[in-house]
Structure 1
Amino acid sequence: MTALPTATGAAPVAGADHGTPAADARRDRVDVHHHYTAPEWIDWAERNGVVRREKLPPWTRWSLDDALALMDGAGVRTSVLTVAMLGRLQEPKARKESAHVALRAAGDLVREHPDRFAFYAPVFLDSPELSLWSIRHGLDELGAVGVSARTSVRGVYLGHPSQDAILAELNERSAVISTHPMEVPGGDADLEGVPPFLCDFLMDTTRAALSLIVNGTLDRYPNLTFILPHGGGFLPYIASRLEVFGHHLSPPVEPARVRDCLHRFYYDTAGPMSPSATPSLLAAVGPERILFGSDWPPTPAALVTGVTAPAFDQDPALDGEQRRRINRDNAHRLLPALAAAATGSV
């Protein structure tokens, strides 16, 4: 098999040029971290005065052609979409209509391209009623493979008891919950000259994971599976620190429970992974809990194909078997509908 080119035109990847399973997986990746702002939703939002198209950030200009070009360039067979909706709608009727438009667009896209796309139905941490509707409409009627949730909303983190109605419903379904930061502490907490996605997003993800641990969410809802973006933020790096100082948490967390909780999460590679970061993640959770993630389009296509994917493919901390698991097998095990779609058995 001809290996995928890197940014410099070089092809070899550790483990992929010796007939290992990783060679196939590099052209059959599953990307669990793909942001989708539906063009249909942009049209609706502009008509209703929610957004002005020309004021939106570049990453909201999603198109099918651009998405497929990115996926083909990065060797991605299937992308799982996080359905994005911008603006700060609070009026319940408008908020539900907004979600309905975005979900319908995602469902239509997957129906037209079942082997290339899947999607998560959004849940809203501050609205159990809207979340329950989105869960039932998205999973039961439109075929979503899981749900997506922010790590926090207005300072309330995922796992807070106020979300129990949402989490209980998802637990009954043994749902996969893909998480992502969006709002981070502002005002005096900002660091001038440093965009929030650089480090604040990672801290928000770490805080959400700790919230799920200290609030007992992982114990009360054992059927839930959470995907942490960006390599889990700082969580793998502070794993030993958390074990040593877990007795300072409220309630206290014993070292053995810390280790168990770390292995209850999945972690995507949209850090991106690197020779400096990968060993910490592998030591904390092992290769069977890691999933490939591009973070496109907020991460530009040139970076995904020229930096993120090649850095993963050439990471010396990974062997061919580990790459295959991360590229494809772990996602197919976690989200069986993706494997069925890839083989045409749905």
Structure 2
Amino acid sequence: MTSLETAAGTAPLAGIADSGPTAAGEGDARRERVDVHHHYTAPEWLDWAEKQEIVHRRKLPPWTRWDLGTALRMMDEAGIRTSVFTVAMLGRLQDPKVRKESALVALEAASDLVQSHPDRFAFYTPLFLDSPDLSMWSLTHGLDDLGAIGVSVRTSAKGVYLGHPDQDRILAELNERSAVVSTHPMDVPGGGAELEGVPPFLCDFLMDTTRAAISLIINGTLDRYPNLSFILPHGGGFLPYIAGRVEVFSDHLTPKVDRARVRDYLHRFYYDTAGPMSPSATPSLLSTVDPSRILYGSDWPPTPAHLVTSVTAPALDNDPALDEQQRRCINRDNAHRLLPSLAARR
């Protein structure tokens, strides 16, 4: 075991001092965060993908070069005790056999990482909106065989959003399992319509998340599958800000949505903090959902470590719209309630 691994979870968070016995719980939570938004590109998967000539490492963005030492260092500096990660697989694979092999390599690597560091990592098994068969295999293998604690899924695939009736087979199985579903945008519909000079993660990803949430509402997904818990990334995109607008124009949706139910639907999502927590954004989020529905998310490594440790984490811990108990719940307690197996890893 390296000195870095030995010290994992014990290093003090830069810039935060204990404030005495009355804040002991909050101080602990700021050093025992549960990060529900961590992107993992397995080195083993990259090795496989290069051999298959699917990717070329040197041409990939820096965030795909995941390594254990860097991950643990970032986590310790940001006060993250446990990271729940999505399993990244790059490239647009079409052949069913190759896609399954790709998923198998990535899942086995994810399982090995969690087994070697069970107190530091957990993972979501991936679903594929355009392939029910592959999704059913992945959720069975990931959840039952490898110990995944939830599933991850893109907000849309090939222009079809999460919640579409074509996904009912997958959603019904997940509902039977009372699954936690972590969502994330990736393929933004309308290619070529993006604003030149503006990366898609800045605006377009937030819109894609907003569309997916409304898709889940208008397709009746939240009513038909009440046991599912959906996590919306980046504070739900634009959803908290336009909550009133969705209410006012709910009868313009197809099918129409009862205006009185809109707020109830919005309260049934979970929202992670990757990006939205600020004096301007937090009040909108809190006016839409209860703090018990907000989870800490770093969005590392696409969000660089220096931003996680010096900007986004401190912004949450010093947000004037939140009190100490709310911050403690967002940092740790809400995730332990939603994903109870994590509490046993402390």
Q: TM-score range by the shorter chain?
A: over 0.9
* CA positional deviation for 1:23: 1.1
How big is each residue's C-alpha offset from its partner over 1:15-54, in whole Å with a ceiling of 9 and x where there is no partner?
8885252111000000000000000000000011110111
Distance 1:87 1:3 in 2: 39
Match of 2:7 in 1: none
Matches within 5 A, 1:251-270: 251-270=255-274
Distance 2:234 2:80 in 1: 18
Instruction: Give the root-mean-square deviation of aligned CA atoms.
Output: 1.6
Answering whether residue 224 of structure 2 is matched by residue 215 of structure 1, we say: no
* CA positional deviation for 1:5: 1.9
* CA positional deviation for 1:272: 3.5
How big is each residue's C-alpha offset from its partner over 1:251-295, in whole Å with a ceiling of 9 and x where there is no partner?
111222111111110000002410100011111002100000000
Match of 1:132 among 122, 132, 136: 136
Match of 2:329 in 1: 325
Answering whether residue 112 of structure 2 is matched by residue 102 of structure 1, we say: no
Match of 1:5 among 7, 11, 14: 14
Distance 2:187 2:87 in 1: 16
* CA positional deviation for 1:130: 0.2
Answering whether residue 135 of structure 2 is matched by residue 149 of structure 1, we say: no
What letter corresponds to residue 281 of structure 1 in structure 2?
L
Distance 1:188 1:93 in 2: 31
Indicate conservation of the 8 Å contact 1:20/1:320, yes or no: no
Match of 1:36 in 2: 40
Indicate conservation of the 8 Å contact 2:11/2:79, yes or no: no
Indicate conservation of the 8 Å contact 1:83/1:106, yes or no: yes
Match of 2:228 in 1: 224
Match of 2:297 in 1: 293
What SS does structure 2 have at the residue aligned with 1:19? helix
Matches within 5 A, 1:1-346: 4-6=13-15, 11=16, 18-342=22-346
What letter corresponds to residue 29 of structure 1 in structure 2?
R
Mark the CA change 1:278 to 1:12 in structure 2 (over 3 Å): closer, same or farther. Answer: farther
Distance 1:16 1:313 in 2: 16
* CA positional deviation for 1:102: 0.3
TM-score (ref. length: structure 1) = 0.95
How big is each residue's C-alpha offset from its partner over 1:156-197, in whole Å with a ceiling of 9 and x where there is no partner?
000001111111110110000000000113444211111100
Mark the CA change 1:136 to 1:12 in structure 2 (over 3 Å): closer, same or farther. Answer: same
Distance 2:94 2:312 in 1: 36
TM-score (ref. length: structure 2) = 0.95
Indicate conservation of the 8 Å contact 2:291/2:326, yes or no: yes
Residues 302-311 or 183-192, more deviating: 183-192
What SS does structure 2 have at the residue aligned with 1:337? helix
How big is each residue's C-alpha offset from its partner over 1:298-345, in whole Å with a ceiling of 9 and x where there is no partner?
000000001010111111001100001000000000001101122xxx
* CA positional deviation for 1:241: 1.0
What SS does structure 1 have at the residue aligned with 2:249? helix
- Identify unmatched segments of 5+ residues in structure 1: none
Distance 1:316 1:3 in 2: 22
Distance 2:335 2:282 in 1: 18
What SS does structure 2 have at the residue aligned with 1:30? strand
Residues 27-36 or 263-272, more deviating: 263-272
Indicate conservation of the 8 Å contact 1:17/1:23, yes or no: no
Identity %: 75
Distance 1:51 1:136 in 2: 27
* CA positional deviation for 1:12: 5.5
Indicate conservation of the 8 Å contact 1:20/1:321, yes or no: no
Mark the CA change 1:16 to 1:192 in structure 2 (over 3 Å): closer, same or farther. Answer: farther
What letter corresponds to residue 332 of structure 1 in structure 2?
H
Distance 1:16 1:330 in 2: 23
Residues 280-289 or 248-257, more deviating: 248-257
Indicate conservation of the 8 Å contact 1:28/1:77, yes or no: yes
Distance 1:319 1:187 in 2: 42
What SS does structure 2 have at the residue aligned with 1:21? helix
Indicate conservation of the 8 Å contact 2:12/2:77, yes or no: no
Mark the CA change 1:172 to 1:260 in structure 2 (over 3 Å): closer, same or farther. Answer: same
What letter corresponds to residue 82 of structure 2 in structure 1?
T
Off by >3 Å, runs of 4+ in structure 1: 15-18
Indicate conservation of the 8 Å contact 1:147/1:178, yes or no: yes
Q: Aligned residue pairs: how many?
A: 337
